[in-house]
Chain A
Amino acid sequence: MTRTVHLSLDINGRRHDLDVEPRVMLLDALREQLGLTGTKKGCDQGQCGACTVHVDGKRVLACLTLAAQVEGRSITTIEGLAAESGDLHPVQTAFLEHDAFQCGYCTPGQIMSAVACIREGRAGSDDEIREYMAGNLCRCGAYNHIVAAVREAAEMA
């Protein structure tokens, strides 16, 4: 039996209408149905952080969130981070300046997590950044540059 639910999602300040099966995760809805492929699928099990997005301003994992669950919430993805003018978010700029990636696959999740980490006031030292960015794995091992980028962005915030 195929069941679908009609959803109206608020993503990056725009309304998106879509029909999905109830089991569809926010991650798959973003990537497969809405063409918002900036949010990455890593482990798809809530263990790597590549799919980090913001829901009502809080960082969460899109791979363990039903699309249906977040109707009525405000969702921000990596595509919604830069200003309307195209100017990058300071965390994006800091990642570029510090070369805080190699393959880049975990980067959107790292950046979304870092923006929230700074907003939460949890980026006061390198140790604190490491602990509060622990939910974002980087298999290239670019951690030192990621910490440097987050620290600089936090100091400028």
Chain B
Amino acid sequence: MRDFSYFRAGSLDDARQHATQPGAMLLAGGTTLLDLAKCGVAEPDSVVDISHLSGLSQIAADADGVTIGALAKMEDVARSPGIRADYPAVSQSLLLAASPQLRNMATIGGNLLQRTRCPYFRDPATFSACNKRNPGSGCSAIGGVTRNHAVLGTSEACIAVYPGDLAVALVALDATIDLGGRKVTADEFFVLPGDTPDRETILERGEMVVAVLIPASPIARHSTYLKIRDRQSYEFAAASAAVGLEMEPDGRTIRDIRVALGGVATKPWRARAVEEALIGKPLDAGIIEKASRVAMDGAIAHGANRYKVELAPRVIARAILNLGGLA
């Protein structure tokens, strides 16, 4: 790992000022940055440690919603009684991610910014071609081992999966990301790879995630996160779904629904077509299974990841049926 200078920021302004320097990177929990520095993917000249800043770790809830500070730890947010009661999909997405040790380290802001687990991206010593690491160099994954690569949102330049869980729940629940100077929806925060897979979010140099805001709603209160993976724990999603459900007073008709997918797309993937297909429909297994398949319209498989096209709709349907008490 290349050496770098270390600077401990004393204030947010301090951090922003140092972060604008070329080659500077922010350090919060360190679980992504230091891991990627060891892989040779991240090569910071200077590391700006923001983990000691105070006032950015709050979990502040009121009737309108909850504000989660960017430096709040995954484990603390997951265990927060208010989050568990009013935003269960958020708590579940966090508890089903990583390990207790990593959850004690990793922050909410850093969690959103975690990088893909694409093995070609993570191994520059062996695979020089990676458009995400080195724009224009090509993609080693296309034509390679693709079992864990994306089927939605891909481009000819990149098929790497966005690996996170929390962001999937945030996209489903219409969360907003506070960047200090501006706010954007979680959906807008992440961008598709297109011709520039090195650019994964709308963050500009010197900008940082300050907080995440999740609006309170009946949908958020009645939400769940279902994650299917290759081993029972401590693994990234093969496919996952965050779902929120609100029923009409008749108890049988879907008034409103939110669906987002993880583990199958290049960004946290809102499945609006599934939502539109289900609003006003009865809560019925056959109808739900059919509507869930719409999520895969436009999916492109690359060999071994073809199973995700079958798996993801089943995960969506199971999550909805679980929420509706039908499974």
Contact = CB atoms under 8 A, between A and B. Distances in A.
A130 B233 contact: yes
Contacts of B27: 66, 69
B266 interface: no
B100 A5 contact: no
A66 B6 contact: yes
A138 interface: no
A69 B30 contact: yes
B38 interface: yes
Contact of A131 (B49, B75, B233): B233
B105 A61 contact: yes
A25 interface: yes
A64 B31 contact: yes
Interface in A23-41: 23, 25
Contacts of B104: 58-60
Contacts of A69: 27, 30, 49, 51
Interface in B32-46: 34-35, 37-39
Q: Is the interface of B mostly helix, strand, loop or mixed?
A: mixed
A5 B6 contact: yes
A135 B101 contact: yes
Q: Counting chain A CB atoms within 10 Å of each CB, which of B1, B8, B30 scores highest?
A: B30
A116 interface: yes
Closest 7 CB pairs of A and B: A135-B99, A22-B6, A134-B233, A134-B234, A58-B104, A68-B6, A64-B34
Given A5-B6, A69-B49, 6 more contacts: A59-B101, A65-B105, A66-B6, A68-B8, A130-B233, A135-B234
15 contacts: A22-B5, A22-B47, A45-B39, A46-B35, A58-B75, A59-B100, A60-B104, A61-B31, A61-B105, A64-B30, A64-B35, A65-B34, A66-B34, A69-B51, A134-B99
Interface of A: 1-3, 5, 21-23, 25, 44-46, 49, 52, 58-61, 64-66, 68-69, 72, 113, 116-117, 120, 122, 130-132, 134-136
